[in-house]
Amino acid sequence: MHFLQRSDFNKDLKNSHSITAVIWSFTMWVLNVFSMLLVAVVFQTISCQGLTNASDVCRPLSEICGLSGKGEKGEKGEAGLRGSTGPIGKMGPQGAKGNIGPKGEKGDTGERGMPGAQGSVGQKGAAGEKGNTGPKGDTGNMDAAYDMSRVIALENDLADLKTVIGFAKQALQLLGIKKTTSGKYIYSDGTNLPFSDAEAYCTNANSALINPKTQEENRAAQQFAKKYDSLAYLGVNDRMKEGTFVYQDGQRLTYTNWGSGEPNNYNNNEDCVTVSTDGEWNDVPCSLPYVVVCEF
């Protein structure tokens, strides 16, 4: 058993020596070739220095050794096949504007369009010639003449009435009566009364306590409060149902201008409403006397 193992080992050792010898021989051959080339280059360099006509002797080493170098220019070859069309290039810059072309021939007449807008009235023309005298008319009716006189009389009466109305308007302004755009006339003579008496005061004057339904009407009541430097009663209250304020005719309010924190029904005894000098509303006891402002 030991003998067979030693024999195999000897064979492997002999094979290893053979491979090493081959590698060493190849290496030495390469070195010899390289040495020969190096000697040839050195010899050529020394021999060709200072020579003027040594084209054959002093050719490049690549030509001497048969190595590939630059040869003579060959003849022009045949044209190759046409290649495929390349991609479309970018659009070039816009060219200069060309000259105006010749005028074309006149086209056919188009269809008639829609009528245009009506023009302005022209200047008055010259008077025409006087016409012939017409035939004599029938005798007129006396009743028509009477009716015409009545119309004239009514027109005179209307003119007088307009004059009287104009004087009345001036008188109202002098008395301090204010007219609103809603058609109401607002007036106060500065009388101070409790709420119930204030209602009766206006009723006797064929009017009512002012019920402001617009800012303009409220401003008119405010002006009388300023004039007499006092609160002024409005025709507004919640005597029927606490917290539900209505006009004197029972309708719900359509306009209000309550002050801050109002209405507050202080001491559960404030069921009527006044307007102050700054135009704000406040609920107050109905028993207190304030300025009466009527509307008619």
Kindly list the domain boundaries of the chain, sorted by start residue.
Answer: 9-42, 185-295
Kindly list the distances between the CA atom of residue 224 and the CA atoms of 19, 148, 199, 230, in Å, as whole numbers in the listed order. Answer: 137, 50, 17, 9
Average pLDDT of the segment spanning 91-110: 81
pLDDT at position 170 is 46
35 pLDDT above the threshold of 70? yes
Q: Quick one: tokens of 64? A: 């001497």
- Average model confidence (pLDDT) across the chain: 80
Confidence of residue 2 (pLDDT cuts 50, 70, 90): very low
pLDDT at position 128 is 78
58 pLDDT above the threshold of 90? no
| Contacts for 46 with CB less than 8 Å, ≥ 6 apart | none
Confidence of residue 120 (pLDDT cuts 50, 70, 90): confident
Pairing mode, strands 232-237 and 246-247: antiparallel
| pTM of the predicted model over 0.75 | no
- Residue 273: name the closest of 233, 243, 246 by CA: 233
Alpha-carbon 156 to chain mean position = 61
288 pLDDT above the threshold of 90? yes
Confidence of residue 13 (pLDDT cuts 50, 70, 90): low
195 pLDDT above the threshold of 80? yes
pLDDT at position 53 is 52
Kindly list the distances between the CA atom of residue 72 and the CA atoms of 30, 75, 193, 210, in Å, as whole numbers in the listed order. Answer: 32, 10, 138, 127
pLDDT winner (highest mean) among 61-70, 83-92, 237-246: 237-246
pLDDT at position 177 is 84
pLDDT at position 62 is 54
153 pLDDT above the threshold of 60? yes
DSSP string spanning 41-104?
HHHHHHHHTT-SS-TTTT--HHHHTT--------PPPPP-PPPPPPPP-PPPPPPPPPPPPPPP
pLDDT at position 145 is 63
Average pLDDT of the segment spanning 138-149: 65
CB count in 10 Å sphere of residue 295: 22
For the structural domain made of 185-295, what CATH number should be given? Answer: 3.10.100.10
